Structure 1
Amino acid sequence: MSDTSFHPAGFGSTAVHSGHEPNSAYAHLVPIYASSTYVYESAEQGMRRFSGEEDGYIYSRWGNPTFTEAEEKIAALEAFGLTGPDGGPLRVKGLLHASGMAALSTLLLSVLKKGDKILSHYSLYGGSQELMEGLLPGLGVDAVITDLRDLDKAEAVFKSDPSIRLLYLETPANPTMQCVDIAALTALARRYNCPVACDNTFATPYLQQPFRYGVDFIMHSTTKFLNGHGTAIGGILLGRDVERMKGPVFKTLKLLGGNANPFDAFLLINGLKTLELRMERHCDNAEAVAAYLERHPAIARVNYTGLASHKEHAIAARQMRRHGGMLSFELKGGLQAGVSFINRLKMCTRTVSLGTCDTLLCHPASMTHFSIPKEKREQYGITDGLIRMSVGIENAPDILADLEQAL
């Protein structure tokens, strides 16, 4: 068995080995613990577990050994190379969920109460925006949406509204690839005693570590790049206040019932092991695709943080290792040009979602952001001609050839 006292120095090694604990059957990989509940050696042991005096599994809605490895692996990657207040390695706690939306729901309902407000920015994932603006107001929690790329506007909101109790960031944002300055916004929120959460789905911990800049919470749709193969739905919420995560945040997860399942957790664990390799290839290919599209006469605009033409290129370059596998672009012919283009694709895949090994393209206005009113979509830069592209790990010449014939 491997020596668990050994701590790898590399990100890729950490992705492979972190979180894994030897089991009594000496299985090479973590088993799929397909058990809804767990037994106790005695009534007294059961009492100790329920009271919190003894660590151990009770019920798989509350925790499962397969979940634990996924949680600890992602926590190790988000905290990789970072130090905590005591000068030692940063400790963070992750809670695995059934989906990214379940993780977001746990975050919002554990932090916010009636009368509180959440401050966020233009161009969020459609489900996140609809939850904040459509569901939360019914619970007495309102969303304030402003352009957080402008720090003066952000501070004006904090100054004028003391009921702001959470700053929520998504950078790069879906699908316009807008970026906000995590460090500057977190420092601003600190002055107003406001916690900060960041959706890190697009970047992954390999490209961006929001904990480095002082955020309190990170969430992911693990369905995307972390799983990497489109085989399972999942989400995770991580926090740097470990006791808070084990206490009120965990209680919210238990009561909402948004827990993961062992098989999806197993698939996620295996996907995570190749994260570094996949992200490098995603980045290589996306850079080639963005450069090609920017030169193409049929394209009006390309949104990719790796291009010097991107408005937040400097911010992205400062807080990201590389610029990722996501981009969007607008065809000059608008909606009809977008429909025709997507219909002519031969190798690239017509579907929503992102982060898989194959290249995926979708039309946000009619798909991922369909539920957002048209005027708001356009205000956020999600026009009828916008195409979102998750660049896969195929050979770049093949991706470019398919785009060429479709355009």
Structure 2
Amino acid sequence: MSQTFPLTGISSVAIHGADNHHAESSHVTPIYATSTFTFDTAEQGMERFASLDKEKIYSRWGNPTFKNAEETIAALEAFGLTDAAGQPLQLKALLHASGQAAMATLFLGNLQSGDSILSHFSLYGGTYELMHKVLAQSGINIIIADLRDLNIAVETIQNNPSIKLVHLETPANPTIQCVDIDAITKLAKAQNMLVSVDNTFATPYLQQPFKYGVDFVFHSTTKFLNGHGTAIGGVLIGKDIELMKTKMWKWHALLGGNGNPFDAYLLITGMKTLELRMERHCSNAMIVAKFLEQHPAVAQVNYNGLTSHPDYHLCQRQMTHPGALMSFELKGGLDAGKQFIDKLQMCVRAVSLGTVDTLLSHPASMTHFSVPREERLKFGITDGLIRLSVGIENVADILADFEQALAS
């Protein structure tokens, strides 16, 4: 039976947002582990190649398992939003093998030699490197400015007509700085510039950039959307459906950034519990942030849920909750940070984030190792900064582990 009423809860969308009419009446999305698909007739093959939906030709181009994941993510990002005509917002997602692959499609599909891309301080190290090593070699100019200062944003956007794309990462990695999506998008649109937002840290449960008129949203699906650290993936979502099915799909296919059916299946499974996980992630994070802020060994905590964070008020306006990510620095600096990490007994020493367990890493030597030190410091990524992704364990156990690791 077809669904005839709108879903009113994001958990329902995460479970039922895609077309769930599967082959052989399968309850869950099958893993279509096939490199290619057969045609019943020559005419059917011709029709599939002529169509803008190519999920049943060749798995580098598309795959039914990918399609289910794409439809779910698009439905989550569009949940409750309307287009200019007041109709439910329609989006198109393209699933990739990794966040980096999705980012490459976003950048290379929209920029060419002579264009400029504008972004801000404190970006994920992989994004920074992709810009400065790959895009720069292609003749694309990289402009980095403090877009949290709207005066600087206005000056930069108005004085650089070569800017084609403004890329925002908010909250940003690992300082948890926020950029005003609404204000920056209005400035960019006044100059006919495209806007993309990395929504990995927030997820569509906490923040929906399309609400503010952006053109693209990006996720590393490896993180909160999957939620269990079982698969690598990335997704690019756009509101220009034809563009996404033509030019952006072509770049995606030619760059070979397709996902694989098993990882897509794991992503679909993980997204079904997104709301439940995010509620626990967020409630735990607030408790942990307040614990760290009052601890005598802690010099600073970067968490948007604390009034001490400079972006607290923007976060309150732009997000439904500050989320599960934070960073902090101990009064003893780098040595104290290393000792703290080494003494942890339950919480996990690992890069990545957004998994059900609590993860801690050292950005200066890990995720941002390739970023020059002077640039890191400019971004606020000091040598002793620790990044923390708060998991869904019993919060008392997280606090107990931190307490014993912080004990001198």
State the TM-score bracket (shorter-chain normalisation).
Answer: over 0.9
Q: Which runs of 5+ in 1 are unaligned?
A: none
Structure-2 separation of matches of 1:136 and 1:18: 35
2:342 counterpart SS class: helix
Which amino acid is the alignment partner of residue 175 of structure 1? Answer: P
Match of 2:100 in 1: 101
Which amino acid is the alignment partner of residue 289 of structure 1? Answer: V
Match of 2:12 in 1: 13
Structure-1 separation of matches of 2:138 and 2:342: 42
**Counterparts of residues 2-401 of structure 1 (less than 5 Å):** 2-52=1-51, 57-401=56-400
Note the alpha carbon deviations across 1:108-157, whole angstroms, 9 max, x for none.
00000000010000000000011111221110012100100011111111
Note the alpha carbon deviations across 1:56-104, whole angstroms, 9 max, x for none.
6110111100000100000000000000112110000000000111000
2:144 counterpart SS class: strand
TM-aligned CA deviation for residue 7 of structure 1? 3.2
2:397 counterpart SS class: helix
Which amino acid is the alignment partner of residue 70 of structure 1? Answer: A
Q: Which runs of 5+ in 2 are unaligned?
A: none
TM-aligned CA deviation for residue 52 of structure 1? 2.4
CA contact (8 A) 2:55 2:64 kept: no
Which amino acid is the alignment partner of residue 252 of structure 2? Answer: L
The percentage of aligned residue pairs carrying the same residue is 62
Q: TM-score, normalised by structure 2?
A: 0.98
Number of paired residues? 406
CA contact (8 A) 1:200 1:208 kept: yes
Structure-1 separation of matches of 2:23 and 2:216: 34
CA contact (8 A) 1:123 1:176 kept: yes
Note the alpha carbon deviations across 1:249-295, whole angstroms, 9 max, x for none.
00000100000000000000000000000000000000000000000
Structure-1 separation of matches of 2:144 and 2:56: 41
TM-aligned CA deviation for residue 24 of structure 1? 3.4
Structure-1 separation of matches of 2:74 and 2:55: 20
Change (3 A) 1:106 1:388: same
Change (3 A) 1:53 1:146: closer
1:106 counterpart SS class: helix
Change (3 A) 1:54 1:157: closer
CA contact (8 A) 2:223 2:355 kept: yes
TM-aligned CA deviation for residue 44 of structure 1? 1.5
TM-aligned CA deviation for residue 54 of structure 1? 7.8
CA contact (8 A) 1:4 1:21 kept: no
- Range moving further from structure 2, 17-26 or 322-331: 17-26
CA contact (8 A) 2:200 2:220 kept: yes
2:118 counterpart SS class: strand
TM-aligned CA deviation for residue 41 of structure 1? 1.3
Structure-2 separation of matches of 1:86 and 1:36: 40
CA contact (8 A) 1:92 1:238 kept: yes
CA contact (8 A) 1:48 1:54 kept: no
CA contact (8 A) 2:54 2:61 kept: no
Note the alpha carbon deviations across 1:148-194, whole angstroms, 9 max, x for none.
00111111112221111100000000000000100000000011100
TM-aligned CA deviation for residue 390 of structure 1? 0.2
Structure-1 separation of matches of 2:120 and 2:53: 43
Match of 1:404 in 2: 403
TM-aligned CA deviation for residue 5 of structure 1? 3.4
1:248 counterpart SS class: helix
Structure-2 separation of matches of 1:85 and 1:325: 33
Structure-2 separation of matches of 1:181 and 1:111: 22
Which amino acid is the alignment partner of residue 31 of structure 2? Answer: I
Structure-1 separation of matches of 2:273 and 2:98: 21
Note the alpha carbon deviations across 1:308-364, whole angstroms, 9 max, x for none.
111010111101001100000011111111110100000000000000000000000
Which amino acid is the alignment partner of residue 115 of structure 2? Answer: D
Structure-2 separation of matches of 1:271 and 1:356: 10
Structure-2 separation of matches of 1:182 and 1:266: 32
TM-aligned CA deviation for residue 53 of structure 1? 7.6
Structure-1 separation of matches of 2:44 and 2:154: 52
Which amino acid is the alignment partner of residue 389 of structure 1? Answer: L
Which amino acid is the alignment partner of residue 140 of structure 1? Answer: G
